[in-house]
Structures are given as structure tokens and as C-alpha cells.
Structure 1
Amino acid sequence: MVASVAAQQAEDDIRGPKALIEIPVPEPPTPWMSYALWGLLAVLLIAGLVWVLKSRSKPMVTAEDRAKKELDRLGREGSDLEAGEFALAASQVVRVFIERKFGLAAPKRTTEEFLHELSSKENQTLSSRMEPLRGFLKSCDMAKFAGAKLEVGDRGELVAKARAFVDAPEANKGKGAT
């Protein structure tokens, strides 16, 4: 019965074979999202390159450079300060240098606490400089707390001791500078 139905349909179709229907290929959509991502990537790449080039152009200021600059300024302008203020400024420069260079919390401690911490850490870099540092800090403490007078020559000597500590080769072999 199925065969007869198919044969009947073939006899009823008098039009013959039908022409092929062309199905148009759609145009691919414009990839706006990929264009936007590539553009963003290009902008980020250029911004990163500019940032790297700008950061390289700035000279790195080391802890030694900062301390030397402050000591030079103190040597020039320190004659206007009271003896205690001058000693405080000089010791603060050295303490901040030690903190930046070696990571010790020197500015936040008293002289005795700091020197005790320094000797207990057995810091090889500073161990050879311990006695000159102790003498420098004691001189500063005498002017700050005991009212010792600092004449022009004494102030120059104090700055020279601080400068010698900062310039010492042993002090410059530490962790790094910031």
C-alpha cells in the first residue's frame, strides 16, 4: 500500500523536478567586541610602556643620598638652631638612614633601646661601626637632654661624624636603599 501511494503521488506531480533553492550565506556579524578588546589591550600596552619609561628616567635616590643631603643642609643651616635642636636633627638623620638602609626601627626607640637592639641582632654590617655610632649618639643625647653646648666647631664635628657613618663602606653593604 505504501508503494501505491508513492506511485500515485509521482503521477499526480506534473510539474517535474523542482529547481534548487539557493540559501544565501549570511554575512558574518561585525566583531565589535573583539575590536574593543584589542583596542583596550593596545591602550594598556602603550600606557604600561610609558609608565616603565617614565619610572626609568627618574634617578633612584638611595638612603645614603638622602642622608648626605640632609646632613649638608644641616651643616649650612644648623647654626640658627639651639644646641638640642641641632643634635636632635643630626641624630634623626642618622637614625632614619639606619631605618631605611637596614630596616631597624632606630627613630622610634631611645638611644639605649636602639643600641641594645643593634648589638643583640648581631648585624655584621653595623657591628664594626657600633662604637663610633654609640659615641655620636651619646654626644647628641648630651646636647639634647643634658644641655651641653655645641659651638660651631662642635656642630661641624658632629655633622662630620654622621657623614663618616653614612659614607662608611660597611654601612653601604646593607639590604638596599629606598
Structure 2
Amino acid sequence: MYKQEVIRRIFLCCILGLLFPFSLLAQQAVDVTAKADTNSIRIGEQIKLQLTATLTAQQFKDANFKVLFPVLPDSLDHFEVVTRSNLDTLVNQDQHILHQTFTLTSFDSGHWEIPPMRFEVFSGANATPDSAITLPIGVDVNTVAVDTTKAFKPIKEIKGVAWSIWDYWLYIVIGAAAVLIIGGLIWYLRTRKKPEPVIKTPTVSPYEIAIQELKALKEEKVWQQGDIKQYYTRLTDILRTYFEHQFSIAALEQTSEELLQNIKPVTKLNQQRDKLRSLLAIADLAKFAKLQPTADEHQECMQKAEEILEWTKPKTGAAEETGTDATLEKA
């Protein structure tokens, strides 16, 4: 009795050992197929080739289990790949079906075969891939039958199509829009208000600037250091700049005689013409004739310049702000 029980257990173990590899193989097996929607076409017609791989739910959920579909080139033997779809997944109860569709065509007449398709199956992270191969598919590519009993017909003439404005509606709309935009821009540019120029009011008047420069000239003691020409050049330039800014006279560009003639219409400035004439005469001799005026003449010229500024300085009223306080008289 005991011996029979032992023999029975050994026999069951042997049976299970033989069946275990087959069960593992069944778990790893993947059903792959390649089907065509037709096996007979005419030259230039298209075929839909459907590639599928069926996985169990356990295989689909396994992150290390992968199935790689075959990569078809643009040209096969006697066939051309027109389009190819993306890989898609269908769920059918406990199965997951991966499928991809290819559109093929052929321009060679005869009986041809779509070659077997090789799928790569990976069952583990570092496992060697297995191959699953489909069967070839035979396709007949037929030529167009020509009835040779009938006569050849002449080529038909080209027929004109009646003109319709609706054939050009897009161009008309674009042209009208362009005209409206251009017209709107022209109207806007012509009617818009031009920005008024901003006139900056000087914070320091020409009189104040001239007084400050005369003060700086005295403090530098230029003529005391022997630079007589520099002293009179700066002195006359201060007065000329003051006349130009205060009375709108181009004093910097005029000779001494021209300046004395142009100050006549300015009443206040004309009343100081004798002082200005004497100052300019000494300055011209010192700058151009190398005259050496005395110390008293240096101080007297500075005093005359200060008196001219004091006599012609603008009043503090709003009407005198721009230096137009000088009344004009006929020359």
C-alpha cells in the first residue's frame, strides 16, 4: 500500500515536470496575424494590410513584456507602401489586440506575395527577444482588359468651363480688404493731429548764465596770468552768446561792425552801443593786433560788460520771460 502511494506521487511529479515548460511557453506565446482585405486587384489599386498581435491581460499589464511590430520600408517586392496608421489597441474581454494598418499598391502585373511579417517579442527586461512570424499573402495584380474588337476613338477636344465670379471670391475679398486698409491708413495719416513740439523753457535765463560766466572769468584771473587774448576772447563770446539768446541776434557769426549795426532796432541794447563799441574795439586790437591794454582797461572792459548786462536784463513779468522786453524802433 505504501509502495503504491509512493509510486503514484513520483508519477504525478514527473507529469507536472513535463507540463510546466509547456505552461510557461503558453503564457509567453503571442498570436500574430497579417490579413489583406483582398487578394486580387488591378494595377494601381490599393490593398489594406492589417497586422495584429493578441496579448492576454497578464501580458499586457507586464511592464517587461513588449511586442515590436515590423517596420515596413516604403517599397516591398512589387508593392509600394502608400500610407501607414499608428499602432492602436482594442480590448476584447480578457484579450488586448494591438493592430496597425498599411495601405499598399502595385504597378507590376502578375501574382505576387506580401512577404512574411516578423514581430519581436520581449518577455523580460534583459531577455533575448523571440520572433513571431506571419504567413505570406498572395495577391494577383491584373491588367485592365482591352476590347480589341472595337475601333480606337479619337482624343476628345478640351472643353472650356464657363467663367464664374464665385471662382475668384477669395481674391476679391483679399483685394477689397487691402483697399480698405490702405484707404484707412491714408485717411488716418491725413486727419490725425500732429503732436505739437514741446518747447522746453530754460530754467536759467541767458542773463543769469552770462553773469555766472563773467564771475567765473574774473575769478580765474586770466589777464593777470598774461593770457590777454584768451581774456578778451572769452569776454566778447559771453556778450555775443547773451545777445543771441536774449535778442535773437546772430551775434556769434557777425563781425564787430555788423553786430553794432544789427543792435540798432533793439532800444535797450542800442542805448549801450557806445560802451559795446569801445569794448569790442579794445578786444579786437588785443586779439588780432596783439595790443597790450593796461590793467585799468582790462577792468574797465569787464565793468562795461556788466553794465550792458544790467541795463538790458529782462524784467520778471510773464511778458518778459523770453527776452522780448526790448521794444523795437525804426532804424
Same fold per superposition (TM over 0.5): yes
> Aligned partners of 2:226 and 2:209: how far apart in 1?
21
**Are 1:83 and 2:83 an aligned pair?**
no
What is the aligned partner in structure 1 of residue 322 from structure 2? 176
Give the secondary-structure state (helix, strand or coil) at the position aligned to 2:290: coil
1:75–1:156 Cα contact (<8 Å) kept: no
Cα shift at 1:118: 2.3
User: Which one of the candidate residues 274, 286, 289 is aligned to 1:146?
Assistant: 289
The 3 A distance-change label for structure 1 pair 111 and 92 is same
Give the secondary-structure state (helix, strand or coil) at the position aligned to 2:293: coil
Letter in structure 1 aligned against 2:288: F
Give the secondary-structure state (helix, strand or coil) at the position aligned to 1:104: coil
2:214–2:235 Cα contact (<8 Å) kept: yes
User: Which one of the candidate residues 225, 250, 273 is aligned to 1:130?
Assistant: 273
Runs of 4+ in 1 over 4 A off after TM superposition: none
> Aligned partners of 1:129 and 1:153: how far apart in 2?
20
Letter in structure 1 aligned against 2:310: D
Give the secondary-structure state (helix, strand or coil) at the position aligned to 1:172: coil
Question: Can you give the 5+ residue segments of structure 1 that lack an aligned partner in the other structure?
Answer: 1-54
Number of residue pairs aligned between Structure 1 and Structure 2: 118
2:272–2:308 Cα contact (<8 Å) kept: yes
1:38-82 Cα distance to aligned partner (Å, 9 max, x none):
xxxxxxxxxxxxxxxxx99xx921111111111011111123352
Choose between structure 1 and 2: higher strand proportion.
Answer: 2
Relative contact order, CA 8 A, sep 6+: which one is greater?
1
Give the secondary-structure state (helix, strand or coil) at the position aligned to 1:143: helix
The 3 A distance-change label for structure 1 pair 90 and 113 is same
**Are 1:116 and 2:258 an aligned pair?**
no
> Aligned partners of 2:218 and 2:322: how far apart in 1?
26
What is the aligned partner in structure 2 of residue 101 from structure 1? 246
What is the aligned partner in structure 2 of residue 158 from structure 1? 301
What is the aligned partner in structure 2 of residue 60 from structure 1? 203
Percentage of identical aligned residues:
25
2:207–2:309 Cα contact (<8 Å) kept: yes
Letter in structure 1 aligned against 2:292: K
TM-score, length-scaled by structure 1: 0.58
Question: Can you give the 5+ residue segments of structure 2 that lack an aligned partner in the other structure?
Answer: 1-199, 324-331
The 3 A distance-change label for structure 1 pair 175 and 145 is farther
> Aligned partners of 1:109 and 1:155: how far apart in 2?
23
1:101–1:176 Cα contact (<8 Å) kept: yes
> Aligned partners of 2:255 and 2:321: how far apart in 1?
23
For the aligned residue pairs, the C-alpha RMSD in angstroms reads: 2.4
